[in-house]
């Protein structure tokens, strides 16, 4: 089962905020006078210009907050390596794990024998966790026996510049499947909320027309629709 993502907060009018900040850099106007109004066509002009010249810092003024459920701790450990992001994660020190929820990799689900091994082991791990708790072992210690695949929940805030960076790394076909699935869901929500900020966004095959990996997968993306319509 794959993670679920909701957009729970964002900078209002994020495209106008970014474009206005960009305009200020090149204009003699005062900062307080420069804010672009709704429908101002120069918003798209400024956003395109920023992208084309690689002037990405104005994208930092718009932030997006996501609620994420059903992500494995394997993926959350990777995720929190992104330093320009803010995370609030459910604590296994304080919260008792009550269900056998864990992320099952697709390669495991696809093979009945593997699925059986995985599910039995998961069940026995939850059982051992419960017995350790019953013996008085603190939650923060009993969790050492839980599997890496155990589900976690978290809130995540990134600004639009870091989101672009995140998408460029994590939407490549060579990225690990679970964080790629997370990235795809975040992109779908961010793109819907602020199309001009994220049109386009993704791996270098899409945004720069060339692969930045040492070994190309040989299947470059040609559109955002292609990225967004992939199965998990």
Residue 124 in the binding site for its own copies (CB under 8 A): yes
Touching its own copies, residues 78-117 (CB under 8 A): 80-81, 83, 86-96, 98, 102-108, 111, 113-114, 117
Interface map 162-181 toward its own copies (x if CB under 8 A): --------------x-----
Residues 182-211 that bind its own copies (CB under 8 A): none
Q: Which two tokens stand for residue 209?
A: 């027309």
Q: Which two tokens stand for residue 25?
A: 């850099």
- Contact flag: residue 19 with its own copies (CB under 8 A): no
Q: Is 170 an annotated catalytic residue?
A: yes
Torsion angle (degrees, nearest 10) of CA 213, 216, 217, 219: 110
Question: Binding its own copies by CB under 8 A: which of 15, 63, 180, 184?
Answer: 63
Cβ atoms within 10 A of the Cβ of 103, count? Answer: 23
Residue 217 makes contact with its own copies by CB under 8 A: no
- From the list 43, 122, 187, 227, which residue makes contact with its own copies (rule: CB under 8 A)? 122
Strand order in the sheet with 85-89: 4-10, 63-72, 151-159, 85-89
Structure tokens at 88: 């609030």
How many residues touch its own copies (CB under 8 A)? Answer: 100
Q: Does 153 bind its own copies (CB under 8 A)?
A: yes
Q: Is 26 in the site for its own copies (CB under 8 A)?
A: yes
The residue from 143, 161, 170, 180 that is catalytic is 170
Name which position in 38, 135, 225, 231 contacts its own copies (CB under 8 A).
135
Q: What 3 state SS string does 7-30 have?
A: EEEECCCHHHHHHHHHHHHCCCCC
Minimum CB distance to its own copies, residue 172 (Å):
10
DSSP 75-132: HHHHHTT-SSEEEEE--TTTS---S--BPPPHHHHTSHHHHHHHHHHHHHHHHHHHHH
Selected from 15, 47, 73, 187, the binder of its own copies by CB under 8 A is: 73
Length of the chain counted residue by residue? 232
- The residues that are catalytic are 170
């Amino acid at each position: 089962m794959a993670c679920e993502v909701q957009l729970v907060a964002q900078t209002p009018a994020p495209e106008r905020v970014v474009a206005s900040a960009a305009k200020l850099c090149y204009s003699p106007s005062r900062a307080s006078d420069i804010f672009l109004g709704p429908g101002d066509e120069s918003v798209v002009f400024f956003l395109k210009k920023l992208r084309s010249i690689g002037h990405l810092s104005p994208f930092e003024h718009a932030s997006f907050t996501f609620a994420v459920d059903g992500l494995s701790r394997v993926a959350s450990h990777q995720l929190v390596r992104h330093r320009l992001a803010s995370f609030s994660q459910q604590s296994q020190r304080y919260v008792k794990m009550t269900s056998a929820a864990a992320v099952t990799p697709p390669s495991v689900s696809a093979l009945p024998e593997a699925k059986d091994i995985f599910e039995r082991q998961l069940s026995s791990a939850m059982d051992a966790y419960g017995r350790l708790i019953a013996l008085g072992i603190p939650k923060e210690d009993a969790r050492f026996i839980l599997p890496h695949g155990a589900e976690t929940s978290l809130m995540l805030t990134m600004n639009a510049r870091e989101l672009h960076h995140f998408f460029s790394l994590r939407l490549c076909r060579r990225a690990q499947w679970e964080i790629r699935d997370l990235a795809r869901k975040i992109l779908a929500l961010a793109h819907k909320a602020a199309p001009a900020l994220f049109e386009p966004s993704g791996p270098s095959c899409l945004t720069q027309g060339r692969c930045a990996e040492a070994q190309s997968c040989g299947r470059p993306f040609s559109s955002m629709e292609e990225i967004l319509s992939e199965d998990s």
